[in-house]
Amino acid sequence: MMQIKHGFQGQWSIILPYFIVDRMGKNPMMNDLYFHSLGYFPNAKYHYINRPEGCPENILIYCTKGGGWIELDGKMQAVGENQFVILPANKAHRYGANELNSWSIYWIHFKGYKSELFSKVYGQVISLDSENTLRIDERFKLFEDIYNVLLDSYDDSALQYANSGLAYFLASILYVKRSGDPKTENKYGTSLIHLATHYMNQNIGNKLKLSDIARHFGYSVSYFYRLFYRNMGIAPMEYFNQLKVQRSCYYLINSTMKVNQISIMVGFDDPYYYSRLFKKMMGVSPVRYRAVNKQATPLI
């Protein structure tokens, strides 16, 4: 039988240059979860991959139509419509499309120390809710949006946006569908909060409300608040403001930006509100903090 790695009609994909992947791996703002490559293979007849030595990255395969199979640890499993599987890095594996009714797949190669959040589902073929068409359409739109952003630019803001989207995409298929099940709340709650704090980190410069964050992860405000507080011991927006103040501390010490400029950088249009919040959390004003922690004339 013919075997093809890529080159399917209508496919699209992007593989980030090595130096970009290396840069993300060394950047503390991005190295928790980040891309290596991603793509879409429609009607991928004769698709076949064999990696006896495994792959340096984790691989997500999300089947939208048709079917195929994966082999991991000597075990073969079928992968059908609206199912996904994550293959762990550095483990031998094979996968391919069915000869008849070949699969259409979205795929992602990703890395980062938070990849271990998904270790419990490595190698498991998991079915998604096929009746929630809105959620499915949102995933596809997000995936294509990430692809277009990476096509346009490799600057840090584009990479941070894409990697934040990666975290949300993974959360949307692994955790959101379980949100109504109390038996799985404790099991998956902590991992979801890790993704939520990652999302907050990536959006420090934006003016997000609690409803924005909850909606991003597909939760009601009350449920998200309760889950976050239970796991973190602090209200979500209080935590988000702490992140903003912490980031502004970095700017105060390591830049020559004025306080009102830093205020905008961390998502506050009103520098007076920012200064009051900073003093409440840090015990001193931003100007005083800079004077104490930086051997330079403070800028105002």
Encode pLDDT of 37-77 as tens digits.
999 999 988 899 999 999 999 999 999 999 999 999 989 99
Give first-to-last CA distance, the chain, whole Å. 71
The CA distance from 85 to 113, in Å, is 19
The stretch 144-167 carries a mean pLDDT of 84
pLDDT at 2 over 70: no
Helix (H, G, I), strand (E, B) or coil at 100: coil
The stretch 82-106 carries a mean pLDDT of 93
Q: Which residue has the higher pLDDT, 250 or 188?
A: 250
Residue 298 phi/psi, 5-degree rounding, is -65, 145
Q: Which residue has the higher pLDDT, 214 or 139?
A: 214
Taken in order of first residue, the domains within the chain and their CATH numbers are 12-174 (2.60.120.280), 237-293 (1.10.10.60)
Residues in CB range of 85: below 8 A, 6 or more apart: 60, 61, 70, 77, 79, 123, 124, 125, 126
pLDDT at 293 over 70: no
Q: What percent of the chain has pLDDT over 90?
A: 36
> Considering the chain, what is the average pLDDT of its residues?
83
Residue of 220, 219, 170, 164 lying closest to 197 (CA atoms): 164
Residue of 259, 151, 149, 157 lying closest to 206 (CA atoms): 157
Residue 76 has what pLDDT?
A: 93
Residue 291 has what pLDDT?
A: 83
Band (190; pLDDT cuts 50, 70, 90):
low
Ranking 48-52, 90-94, 135-139 by mean pLDDT, the lowest is: 135-139
E strand residue ranges, 66-103: 68-72, 75-79, 83-87, 93-97
Residue 63 phi/psi, 5-degree rounding, is -90, 125
Confidence (pTM) = 0.60
Residue 272 has what pLDDT?
A: 94
pLDDT at 181 over 60: no
pLDDT at 299 over 60: no
pLDDT at 219 over 70: yes
Residue 75 has what pLDDT?
A: 92
Ranking 66-70, 180-184, 263-267 by mean pLDDT, the lowest is: 180-184
The stretch 165-173 carries a mean pLDDT of 80
pLDDT at 295 over 60: no
Number of H helices, E strands in the chain: 10, 10
The stretch 178-203 carries a mean pLDDT of 61
pLDDT at 300 over 70: no
Report yes or no: 58 and 37 within 8 Å, Cβ to Cβ.
no
Ranking 60-69, 82-91, 217-226, 263-272 by mean pLDDT, the lowest is: 217-226
Residue 175 has what pLDDT?
A: 60
Band (86; pLDDT cuts 50, 70, 90):
very high
The CA distance from 167 to 170, in Å, is 5
Residue 117 has what pLDDT?
A: 79
